[in-house]
Amino acid sequence: MFAGRDGEGFGFGEGAGTAGEAVARYLDTLDSAPALLGLGEPTHGVEAFPLLRNRIIEHLVRYRGFRSVAIEIDGLAGRIVDAFITGGEGDVDEVMERGFSHEFGALPSNRALVAWLREYNADRAPADRVRFYGFDGPMEMMSAPSPRAALMGAHGYLVEHLGQARVRHTAERIDGLLGYDAVWAAEAAMMDAAQSVGDTDAARALRAIADDLLALMEAEAPTLREASSDAAYRDAHLLIRTSLGLLRYHSAMAWTAPMAERLAALGGLRDAMMAANLRAVASAEAERGPTLVFAHNAHLWKRRTAMDMGGMAVRWWCAGALIAPELKDRYVVIASDTAEAEGTDAAEGDPGSLQGVLSQALASGGPRAREGALFPADALRGAGTDGRVLQARSDLKDPRYIPIDGLDGMDAVAFIRGGGGERVLWGGEDGGGDADQPSRTS
């Protein structure tokens, strides 16, 4: 088995400790603890990866001072989950339905995480409770909503604390420009720019208004924090960031460029929203402890993301690549993957691939890696491969599973033996639904 800098393999499973302990041992090899620890998954809707996340976050919260978790769901919806786990009233079924976008509330692993966080927080002082964040925008794979809720919420906050005379725009004018919400959310606009309202006179006026409100909010930040609270200000800033991000996104939907360029612009804008939200999380949690960030690998690694969308190769800079130059060693990313997918172990299906080599490494680890192992990327580069770059396995058919291709842009790989083919969401061959499920570049 490949080794860490301390000479020990980071195996986990029966006889080797938990996945959380393996991550903790890896963190001990770093010069300093990260502010954001990214944990990626190679596909959505498969329970093995969020279950792995749950085991890791439980250990890191209990023993390593982590005090927040951020997940690839709508940041506005995520506030519902945070309120629930920090002592708020409510029905867990409603929280799972309204607090998780992308249909992720249907995952049993997410329900288990919410239950554990609420129980853990129950007898703790507010300052010591684990917080929950969504860091995605409110868009889905094939649609984006009206900016109404976010924009009107931000406007209301400013009027409440500064007075209408200080706010240049009225709620009535904004409401009139917004029009019908269903027009904004039309799915046809994703693939046909002519169906989008993002470049209308009203949309351009709303974008200027959102920019004015953002500028006012930041210029009056000390007044607003004193009049409300730091938490209320951060919440309002999330609202105005989201509204402006949505307006930019709708504008890109109306762009008449070739489809590949248009989709790349949309992907880049969405990840830019994610990056802004992660910066806000890091700032809010700076004095409390590190944050575990869970999302698709393609949003977290420190390199350009490439995906296949309708047969087009589309590339853009993901959130991890955007925040990494600023946070430097305060951002660490662990990508995850699996030996078994579609009923075939990579060691048999494509033994020379990255997944095949890691599967063979797990096998050689014996009881030290019954469940899986965490491999530092530096230890993997060139190890046992005659210096060649390890590429993704190529023996699979399901485009929703994106195996790790090369080691650039990641600090470690969490590799599990099996379970990667047990899909809970979108089990049909076409994936089903309108959820956020990317596919690999072919």
In a domain, 440, yes or no: no
Q: What is the pLDDT of residue 366?
A: 56
For residues 152 and 131, state if they share a domain: no
* Maximum CA extent, the chain: 71
For residues 86 and 180, state if they share a domain: no
In a domain, 427, yes or no: no
Q: What is the pLDDT of residue 242?
A: 98
Long-range CB contacts for residues 250-253, cutoff 8 Å, separation at least 24:
250/144, 250/147, 250/184, 250/189, 250/196, 250/197, 250/198, 250/203, 251/198, 251/199, 251/203, 251/204, 251/207, 252/198, 253/144, 253/189, 253/190, 253/193, 253/196, 253/198
In a domain, 277, yes or no: no
In a domain, 431, yes or no: no
For residues 107 and 33, state if they share a domain: yes
Quick check: 9 and 3 in contact, CB under 8 A? yes
For residues 207 and 296, state if they share a domain: no
Residue at a domain's end among 230, 256, 282: 256
For residues 296 and 401, state if they share a domain: yes
Expressed as residue numbers, the domain containing 244 is 148-256
In a domain, 200, yes or no: yes
In the chain, the number of structural domains is: 2
List, in sequence order, every beta strand (DSSP E) within 228-376: 291-296, 304-309, 312-317, 331-338, 340-341, 344-345, 372-376
For residues 301 and 352, state if they share a domain: yes
Q: What is the pLDDT of residue 28?
A: 96
Which of 374, 389, 366 minimizes the C-alpha distance to 6?
Answer: 374
Distance, in Å, from the CA atom of 356 to the CA atom of 390, rounded to the nearest integer, reads 10
Q: What is the pLDDT of residue 423?
A: 75
Which of 317, 331, 334 minimizes the C-alpha distance to 404?
Answer: 334
Residue at a domain's end among 202, 237, 256: 256
In a domain, 425, yes or no: no
For residues 191 and 74, state if they share a domain: no
Q: What is the pLDDT of residue 426?
A: 65
Quick check: 296 and 44 in contact, CB under 8 A? yes
Q: What is the pLDDT of residue 434?
A: 46
Q: What is the pLDDT of residue 93?
A: 97
Q: Which two tokens stand for residue 279?
A: 């910066």
For residues 22 and 87, state if they share a domain: yes
Within 8 A by CB and 6+ apart from 287, the residues are none
For residues 130 and 163, state if they share a domain: no
Within 8 A by CB and 6+ apart from 227, the residues are 161
For residues 194 and 102, state if they share a domain: no
Q: What is the pLDDT along the chain (442 residues), one digit of tens a residue?
A: 454 433 345 888 866 689 999 999 999 999 999 999 999 999 999 999 999 999 999 999 999 999 999 999 999 999 999 999 999 888 999 999 999 999 999 999 999 999 999 999 999 999 999 999 999 999 998 999 999 999 999 999 999 999 999 999 999 999 999 999 999 999 999 999 999 999 999 999 999 999 999 999 999 999 999 999 999 999 999 999 999 999 999 999 999 999 999 999 999 999 999 999 999 999 999 999 999 999 999 999 999 999 888 888 999 999 999 999 999 999 999 999 999 988 899 999 999 999 999 998 888 765 445 789 999 998 888 665 666 778 999 998 888 899 999 999 999 999 998 865 567 776 655 444 445 666 554 3
Cα pseudo-dihedral 222, 227, 228, 229, rounded to 10: 50
Q: What is the pLDDT of residue 397?
A: 86
CA atoms within 13 A on the CB side of 279: 18
Quick check: 25 and 8 in contact, CB under 8 A? yes
In a domain, 232, yes or no: yes
For residues 235 and 328, state if they share a domain: no
For residues 404 and 371, state if they share a domain: yes
Within 8 A by CB and 6+ apart from 81, the residues are 95, 99, 100, 114, 132, 134
In a domain, 330, yes or no: yes
